[in-house]
Amino acid sequence: MASTKPTAAAAPKATKAKADKGSSAKVEGAQVIAKGYVPSLQKMYKEEIVAKLMKEFGYSSVMQVPVLSKITINQGVGSATQDKKLVEVAQQELTTITGQKAMMTYSKKDISNFKLRKGMPIGVKVTLRKAKMYEFLERLISISLPRIRDFKGISEKFDGKGNYTLGIKEQIIFPEIDIDKITKMLGMEITFVTSAKKDEEAFSLLREFGLPFKNIKK
């Protein structure tokens, strides 16, 4: 019995170390932002964009200037009803793309025609704020969108509440994804949530950040 105690005590340590290593592998691509770090787009907002929008819309206070509150990325995996592993793959890919661990989304009710049961994982999502939001936005604008074949800009259609959703057809536009390792082409919706009260204000905000709208002179 005495000889088994050290083994039993040692086993959890080894298991924990292995688990820690495994957990970091599961969220590979997740980033830790250094304290005090300010992304270049965040600096640009404070130093340039605020002044431009105040002039454009005649705001009397900087508090009236719209801000980018958050960016949410949603990815539906319809094929998950046939293969649950696809959701896990999508979770890893979205984590790698955004630098933040993606969370699974689940069905809220049974739909027999689609072989869907309540509580079944059907997609993944990420909500980015602050530094990670600006970092993702900069990579999206400068690297990912230009990789779309025959890219001619994005639509200017907003939701009427100052928010904008961009549809992406394939995850391979993100350089973080190894095209040779993907199991299925998946699209996603990227929603930019702003504090703007009007679409016109939100359009100007995102335009100044550098989002390549088709009608940039609007």
**Span 32-51, pLDDT tens digits:** 777 788 999 999 999 999 99
| Residue 166 covered by a domain | yes
pLDDT at 8: 41
More confident residue, 89 or 77: 89
Sign of CA dihedral 114, 118, 159, 190: negative
How is residue 1 written in tokens? 């019995």
- Which pLDDT score, from 0 to 100, does residue 85 have? 84
Two structure tokens written together for 135: 């970092």
pLDDT tens readout for residues 109-167: 655 555 556 767 788 999 999 999 999 999 999 999 999 999 999 999 999 999 999 99
- N residues, the chain: 218
Q: Which of 194, 147, 138, 197 is nearest to 168 (CA)?
A: 147
Please determine, for residue 205, whether its predicted confidence score (pLDDT) is greater than 90. yes
On whether residue 6 sits in a domain, the answer given is: no
**213: closest CA among 163, 157, 167?**
157
Q: Which among 86, 115, 64, 70 has a CA at the least distance from the CA of 186?
A: 86
Could you tell me which of 174, 177, 30, 25 has the C-alpha nearest to residue 100? 30
- Please tell me the total count of domains within the chain: 1
Distance CA 179, CA 187 (A): 14
pLDDT at 17: 39
| Enclosing domain of residue 131 | 45-209
Sign of CA dihedral 133, 43, 208, 150: negative
Q: Is residue 66 part of a domain?
A: yes
Question: Which one of 8-17, 26-35, 80-89 scores highest in mean pLDDT?
Answer: 80-89
Residue 5 forms part of a structural domain: no
Look at 12 and 104; give whichever has higher pLDDT: 104
User: Residue range 74-103: average pLDDT?
Assistant: 85
Please give the helix or strand (H or E) that residue 4 lies within, else none: helix 4-26
| pLDDT value of position 145 | 96
* Res. 25 pLDDT band, cuts 50 70 90: very low
Mean pLDDT of the chain: 83
| CATH number of the structural domain spanning residue 196 | 3.30.1440.10
* 24, part of any domain: no
Q: What pLDDT was estimated at residue 114? A: 53
pLDDT > 60? residue 16? no
Residue 33 counted as domain residue: no
Q: Pairing mode, if any, of strands 68-76 and 103-106?
A: unpaired
The answer to whether position 110 is within a domain reads yes
pLDDT at 162: 96
Report whether pLDDT(206) > 60: yes
Residue 150: inside a domain, yes or no? yes
pTM of the shown model: 0.80
Higher pLDDT, 21 or 98: 98
